Amino acid sequence: MSPILGFGPDVDPTTIGVLTDCVNLIPFDAGFKGAPSSVAVGVAALASACRGAVVATQLAGTRRIFAGTQTALYELAGAVWTDRSKSGGYTGSVESRWCFCQFGDTTIATNLVDPMQQSNAGAFVDVPTAPRALIVVSASNNFVVAFNTDDGTFGASPDRWWSCAQSDQTNWTPAEGGPTTGRLVSVEGAIKAGLPLGDYVIAYKERAIYVGTFAGAPAMWDWTPVPGGEAGAVGQEAVCDIGGAHFMVGDGDFWLFDGTRPQSIGEPVREWFRTNADPTYRFLTKATYDKQNSLVRVSFPSRSSGGVVDRCLVYHTKRKQWGLADQVVQAPLTYITPGLTIDGLNTIAATIDALPNVPLDSQYWMGGGQSPAFFNSANQLVSLSGETGASSFTTGDLGDDDAVTMIDRFRVRFTKAPATATATGLVKMNEGEALAVGAVSEINDGKFDLRQSGRFHRVRVDMTGDHRETAFDSKNTVVGWR
């Protein structure tokens, strides 16, 4: 049996164990499995498309869930989105998105177009003296740091950083030893993203990384460029914290950054991503971390989507393997469930039979349980906790340049068998030629009986229902030599 190495369209297709294609297949700690489907969490849809969402945790542990549209900010109250916009709402823009951070008990929101917002409870209000900003982060030494700003003094400054007074997010007026601002100009371009990393604050341009360190008065902050060549981030949501390091999506590669040097990790899928991601809308890429499953989901717009985020690469941070699980995503969110009682099941479905097909031990049902979620194309919050629908994987090229072989049997080592499984053989005589469809077989006694001849064989296995697998093997018999 050959261990499954994961989705690797850029890898030599004769590499044993590589998958040249897959659908709804993701890595987990012991192998690969069918990607969970999305199920509604029993919350009303937003009035319009979601432009950003967050679960904000206050100092006492109280959670507030916010979602923003172009013109409004909402808070989830029970199963209803309550408008928490400031009086008059917001203007936004065609492409504006909300960025959130938590500063003590205060939730801060910004979209670069409207004044920076804050809320301790109830509605949001303007943050006094704060610049408009694309990005806000909360630093460990009690500062809010803003990037890519616009204000009445300096105007639009895509390469500018700005920090508030220590422990006071309402004071942004520059003063010695207090609020301060500056620009990052040693590498060209706008600041695309920012995120804390331990005691540091990291600023990302498309092809540059800066490490911000609190230096005290009078400079307050020191920014050091990191040697890294092309490493950077394509957009404000293209970076996520995976615990002690950042995962970032660059213009044509994927990187890990732990505060020292960026490390490229995109070799198996780098060219595939460049080919399939729309360069015009690549800035809309969203990277989110599912800590419980050690998965980073990279949602991005395909070339034919017109800017709709409709594809998703999945990376396992421990196994360092890739999968695919496409869905249309407006905004991702790590949803924390309120829990359900028997009496409360009618908030999910009108009848028992209509309840989603979700295992009873899933985080979906548990109070405080965390599950990856997102707003779909219907502005509806859904959780990735349902049973796998249709899924498949396609092997690499099994065979030899000189020998013609007949593939007699193909077997997958399932640790959880799918509800249905069908294998389709694909065959060619030489590398570089187009594949022809060969034999088709339903699973029989844990194997697929395929009979087709050629020098190279691929096998596509189509499945339904939840499944897990660790390896595959083909029985090839030589029927001729060149």
18: amino acid identity, one letter: V
More confident residue, 326 or 363: 326
Is pLDDT at 408 greater than 90 in this prediction? no
Mean pLDDT of the chain: 92
Is pLDDT at 355 greater than 90 in this prediction? no
Mean pLDDT of 187-207: 97
**Residue 98 has what pLDDT?**
98
For residues 150 and 130, give the distance between their C-alpha atoms in angstroms, rounded to a whole number: 10
Is pLDDT at 311 greater than 70 in this prediction? yes
- Domain 38-335 belongs to what architecture? 7 Propeller (2.130)
pLDDT, tens digit, 9 for 90 and up, residues 323-346: 999 999 999 998 875 544 455 545
For residue 351, name the pLDDT band (cuts at 50, 70, 90).
low
Of 348, 355, 307, 314, which Cα lies nearest the Cα of 328? 307
Residues 6+ apart with CB under 8 A from 111: 51, 52, 68, 90, 92, 96, 97, 98, 99, 134
- What percentage of the chain reaches a pLDDT higher than 90? 84
Is pLDDT at 416 greater than 90 in this prediction? yes
For residue 252, name the pLDDT band (cuts at 50, 70, 90).
confident
pLDDT, tens digit, 9 for 90 and up, residues 423-481: 999 999 998 899 999 999 999 998 999 989 999 999 999 999 999 999 999 998 888 65
Question: What end-to-end distance do the CA atoms of the chain give, in Å?
Answer: 27
Give 133's strand partners. 149
* Signed CA dihedral, 319, 322, 326, 331: sign only: positive
Question: Phi first, then psi: what are they for 276, rounded to 5°?
Answer: -95, -25
Query: pTM for the complete prediction?
Result: 0.92
Q: What are the residue ranges spanned by the domains of the chain?
A: 2-35+391-481, 38-335
pLDDT, tens digit, 9 for 90 and up, residues 149-176: 999 999 999 999 999 999 999 999 999 8
pLDDT, tens digit, 9 for 90 and up, residues 10-45: 999 999 999 999 999 999 999 999 999 999 998 999
**Residue 140 has what pLDDT?**
87
For residues 36 and 39, give the distance between their C-alpha atoms in angstroms, rounded to a whole number: 9
Is pLDDT at 370 greater than 80 in this prediction? no
Q: Assign a CATH topology to domain 2-35+391-481.
A: Jelly Rolls (2.60.120)
Distances 420 to 123, 407, 415, 463 between C-alpha atoms, Å: 51, 22, 14, 5
For residues 56 and 100, give the distance between their C-alpha atoms in angstroms, rounded to a whole number: 9
* Tokens encoding 279: 């360069």
User: Out of 15-19, 92-96, 354-358, 377-381, which region has the weakest mean confidence (pLDDT)?
Assistant: 354-358
Question: Phi first, then psi: what are they for 434, rounded to 5°?
Answer: -70, 150
Of 108, 221, 114, 222, which Cα lies nearest the Cα of 170? 108
For residue 360, name the pLDDT band (cuts at 50, 70, 90).
very low
Q: Say which residue the tokens 């090229």 belong to.
A: 397
Q: What is the CA radius of gyration of the chain?
A: 25
For residues 28 and 293, give the distance between their C-alpha atoms in angstroms, rounded to a whole number: 7
